[in-house]
C-alpha cells in the first residue's frame, strides 16, 4: 500500500505561481515513478507531468515551459512548480504513483497506469 498526500493548492490570479508538493509513504518500489494529473471543473482527467526513473520530466504541451516537476533526491517528496498560471489550469491536482514505472514517467500514460493517487489539492486561477 502506498499513501500519497498533496499540499500547496490555492487560489491565484492569472500569471501567478503555486508550488504543489506530494508526500509519498508506504511500500514503495525503487523502480516506481511518479507524476501529476488533474481533473478539470468539467470532470475531465488529464495527465500534467511525469518523472521518469532517469530524472527527466515529461509535460503536457499546454503546461510545458510553465510547470516543472521535480523530486527531492533521497526522499519521497514530489513537487510541481507552476508558473504563469492560466484560468484553464483550474482543476483538482492529484499526485500519482506508478508501481514498476510501466508508464516510463510519460505524462500521457501515467494516468491510466497509475496504481495509487492522493486525495487531491484544488488549484483555482482567476482571470
pLDDT in tens, 75-95: 789 999 999 999 999 999 999
**DSSP per position, 38-79:** EE-TTS-EEEEEEE-TTS-EEE-TTTBTTEEEEE-TTSSEEE
Quote the cell numbers at residue 28: 514503495
Q: What is the mean pLDDT of the chain?
A: 95
d(CA 51, CA 70): 7
Residue 73 has pLDDT above 80, yes or no: no
Name the most confidently modeled range: 17-21, 50-54, 72-76.
Answer: 17-21
Task: Give, as one character, the DSSP assignment of residue 107.
Answer: H
User: What burial class does residue 16 get, using C-beta atoms within 10 Å of its C-beta: 0-12 exposed, 13-18 middle, 19+ buried?
Assistant: middle
- Would the pLDDT of 74 be above 90? no
Point out which residues pair with 24 in neighbouring strands: 4
Contact 3, 24 (CB under 8 A): yes
CB proximity list for 72: less than 8 A, separation 6 or greater: 79
Strand, helix or coil at 103? coil
pLDDT of residue 30: 81
> For 14-25, what is each residue's pLDDT tens digit?
999 999 999 999
Can you tell me the mean pLDDT for 60-64? 97
pLDDT higher than 90, residue 31: no
Amino acid at each position: 500500500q502506498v499513501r500519497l498526500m498533496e499540499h500547496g493548492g490555492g487560489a491565484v490570479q492569472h500569471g501567478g505561481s503555486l508550488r504543489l508538493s506530494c508526500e509519498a509513504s508506504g511500500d514503495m518500489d525503487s523502480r516506481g515513478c511518479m507524476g501529476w494529473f488533474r481533473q478539470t471543473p468539467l470532470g475531465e482527467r488529464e495527465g500534467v507531468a511525469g518523472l521518469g526513473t532517469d530524472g527527466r520530466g515529461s509535460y503536457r504541451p499546454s503546461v510545458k515551459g510553465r510547470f516543472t516537476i521535480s523530486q527531492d533526491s533521497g526522499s519521497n517528496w514530489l513537487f510541481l512548480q507552476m508558473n504563469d498560471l492560466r484560468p484553464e489550469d483550474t482543476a483538482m491536482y492529484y499526485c500519482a504513483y506508478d508501481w514498476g514505472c510501466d508508464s516510463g514517467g510519460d505524462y500521457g500514460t501515467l494516468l491510466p497506469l497509475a496504481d495509487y493517487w492522493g486525495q487531491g489539492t484544488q488549484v483555482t486561477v482567476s482571470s
